[in-house]
Each structure stands twice: as C-alpha cells, then as structure tokens.
Chains A and B, each alone.
Chain A
C-alpha cells in the first residue's frame, strides 16, 4: 500500500474502533439497566448509576487491553496460542470487575440460588457469597472474552480487505510494467514507416509487398509475445533480425547494406529475447539513418571459451544530428542483461573509431 494512504486508513480505523467501543458498551449498559429494573425491581436511577460505573470501568479496562494486545503483537499469533491468551486476559480483567460487581446491587441479577439447590440449606448459606462472587467473575470474564472475539474478528476483516486491495494494486503495477515494455519494444517510427513502404510497394511491386507484410507480421508477433525474462536461441533471434533488416532495406533501399557472419556453433546459445534486435535497431536509428548515403551494417557472432561474442558494427555521422548515441533501448538492454546474468554478461558501445560505432555483446553459454 502506498505510504501516503497509511495515515488516512489509520484515522479511519481509529474512528471505527471508538464507534464500536461506545456502541457496544452502551448497548450492553442499556440491556443491563432494563434487566435490573424489570427483574429485581431496582429504582432505575440507582441501576443506571451503578451500571455506568461498572461498564465505564469495563470500557476503560478493555481499552487498556487493546493497548496491551497491540504492544504484545497478539494479532500475529496463530489461533491456538491466541485462544489461551484471550481466555486468560478475560479472567485477569474479569476478576476485579466481577468482585466489584458483586458488591453492587446489580449482583442480585445473577442469583446463584438455582445452582445451589442440590446442597443443604446450611451449606447453601455458607457458600452462597463465594458462589456469587465466582459467578460474577465468570460472567465478567465472558464479557471480556466476547469483547476480544469481536476485536480480533474486526481486525481479521480489515486485514483481508487491505490484502485484497494490495493484490489488485500489484496486478495493476505489473500490467503497466508489461505495457511499458511493450511500448518500448514496439517502435512506432519503424512500424508506420514500414506500413508506408508496404503501401508504396503495393503499386510498385506487389510480390515484394506480400513479402513485406509477412515479414512485418513475423516481427510484430515476435515482439508482442516476448516477455522481459524470456530466453531464445541466437538463431531464433537472428531470424527476426533478418526480417527486420529486410524491411528496413526496402525503406532505405541502397542506403542500407547488411553483412552477416555467424559461426554455426553460436546459433544455439540462449540469449534474452529482443536483445540483438534492440542493438541492431539502435545501429540503424543512430547510425545508418543519420547518414545521407547510408552504409554497411555488419553483424558477426562466434563462440569462444563458453562465451558468445556478438558484434554489431555500423558507420555513424561525425556530428550526430539527432539524439546522443546511447539510446533508451540500449540502456534497457543492459539492465535486462544485468538482471539475468549479473556481471557475467556485458554490452558495450565502442565509439573510439571515428565515424564508426561497434556494439559488443558478451553472454555466457548456459548448460
């Protein structure tokens, strides 16, 4: 849950707590007053005064109990451990309040008489006060146990609700992260330019136009189904890269030339999906597309000591007219590499040669 929402939630639950406290004890007081007046015939002013005193003390004690429960983190306990504590707390608080109740006129509400029928009248008289006190204690303890049952019940409901809220918020966050990834991969500039090329080819060269639609579909399908942590083989990835490059050379015509040199044993190395694609896209966007006469894009890959070495080399403008060479795409690619391989993989952009850029990708071969 967001931090800024915490105080509001707390204030709300605090308010609810006092409504429950006063409501509960208030109703209990009213019920006992009417009981005392009708059953024992006590004057109602007398009964009201005594019960306000007793239940006021009860409210005070239960509030102190809540403080204690929170300090001792009882809500984190499992049910079995909690039940014994709840009963014990009920009797610890119920005993003094029960004894106090016995001394009031309210006590006659709890006449132990019927319980003692089995004993002789003499004995009955002897144990009557003790039985009376015991009955008051049990009764009052029961009130505190009931209080705790309601308290923990309410707590559970609240926890459940906030867990549900968290769950849906998490789902939303995941969804938006997924969407951001998708948006960053679906390069709209490429997409609409490719569609424009297709529109032009439909008149110029229908057969090539058909091929372009197929390649564009392949590229889009691959982009749409890939997930951040997915691994594919290099040859799978290079198939899509070649579709992409084919589309771009239709667009740029003779400005884009491609040379690819991939060792056969490198094709089976597993790499993060869309990684080489991102590097190649970067080379076109910040290299070839920036040059009026275009240039040669070179992709080479080999396996050396269990490490995939993949280089993408392209000419670049001496003075870049657009943004800096290190795009968002490359930065994302590097972050993904770090997440998946830690320090064992790397992606470097070498701009030391004038008018040339070389992206070097190093990925360990998985077993």
Chain B
C-alpha cells in the first residue's frame, strides 16, 4: 500500500517535472536535448519489449528506425502531406518488422542476433547504395514539421511537448503491457519456452507479435527523429544506432519500465553535452558502461534501487547500534 502510494507520487512528480521542463530549463539547446532523450527513450522502450521481456536481443532495430524515417522523408520530399507520409511510414515499418520477424524468429539467442544484425545492415546498404531512391550519402531533407490541429511544432518548446505526449503514450502502453496477460505470455516464452508450448501457447506467434509491437514503436521513434533532426542519412541505419539503442536498454536495466529511459538519457547526454567539453566522449561513455556493468550488472535503475535499499538498511543499522551504544553509555 505504502509503496503503491510512493509509486503514484513518483509518477505524478515525474510527469510534472517533464511537463514543466521548458520553463525551468529555458535554454533552447537543452530543451532540444530533452526532446532527443524522449525520442530515443521511445526507441529504447520499443527495443526493451524484445530484449527485456522477450529475451530476444536484436541488433537490427536501426534498420526499422531508418525505414520509418526514410519512408516519411521521401514521401514528404515527393509532395505528400504529413499525415499520409507518417501513416505510410508506420505501415511500412510494420511490413518490415514482419519480414524481419519471420526471418529472425527461426532461431533465438545468437542466431537471432546475427540475423537481425544482417537485416539491419541490408537496410543500411540500401540507404547507402540505392542512390536513385535514397540519394545515398547525401541523405534526405525533411523541411517541415507537421502541424497537428494547427499547432506549429517548429519551435523547440512545441516540439518538445509533442514528443513528450508521444513518449507518455508509449510508456503508458508499455506499463499496461507489462502487467497484461500478453506481457506475462511473452515473459513466459523468455523464461521457459518449452513449457509455454506444452501449456498451449503459440510461442512463435507470441514472439512475432512482440516483434511487430516493438517495430511499430521503433517506427514512431524514427518519425520523431526525422522531424527533430530535419534530415536522415544512411548513418541512421548504421550498426552504431542499433548498438547504442541496445546499450540504452542494457545499461538502464532490461525488463524494467524506467531503465531504457535512464539509458537513453545517459547516451544522449554524453553525445550532446559531454562531447562539448570532452573530445573523447565515446571513451567516457565506454567507461560509464563498464562502471555500470561492473557495479550494477542488472542495469542502472534496478541497480540503484538495490544499492539504495542496502544503504538504507546499513544506515538504519548503524543508527540502531548508535542508539544502543548511547543507551548503554548512559
């Protein structure tokens, strides 16, 4: 009961902080960093469905991320409206996720990882080499942001709020999913696939649906990315994007709701803020990951909770022995 109230208070506080962020941050640069964190958090949450809850480590999500981005960017370039471009992008990413899923879910574990890696690289190759379609290395410009209900998203604040709304919908959907029967089914296939099959579950189909859901939210993140960035190039589809997304999930804490968000925050802050002061920010990021894996192998969020609990217990113990000592002294 008490933890539930604490949880609710935390959620309300978190939402209030995020909703007022542009007012207390002020600086447009940092508001943009916050938008980036939120949009990459959506990507990390999407990947966490597979990695954390499905036990399926994908290194191909940059491919899906880029497919959504390229579809929308190219349609916008060819004169289609935002709604048509975005809906097509989401449809396209679902088709791509279905293809990825059918091919990659022939196996699990390392096999799954290698197939998703190969598929992601194919997308990168197409983006890089099919110049008549994608303009290769020149990339595609996205010259305008959508104007939902006539509200311009051109400014950093308004774009931040739009991203925040999408992010909140994503995390609400994820919170429901985790507690739902389908979430339990997916975790069951992760922990004991054989038993799940014998109990009457269609293990393959559960994983496939999870792949589609993950692909859908990856596509949503991809759309946010091109509108944020105003540009997409083959680099977005590169392995590094997949690896970074995976690092966000693992460093923050797999199979947790807040872990991927914390992971996204670390990576984005290191990339944008620390890189301004430290030239070798990649090395700094590496050191941070090594520290996390060493001291909190379960990830930053569950690890911090564990250490906080340990610290609280130790503090209470020393407090109790201190009191006892004083009492014996008196």
The finding on whether chains A and B are genuine partners in a shared complex, rather than unrelated, reads: no
Binding site for B on A (CB under 8 A): none
Footprint of A on B, CB under 8 Å? Answer: none
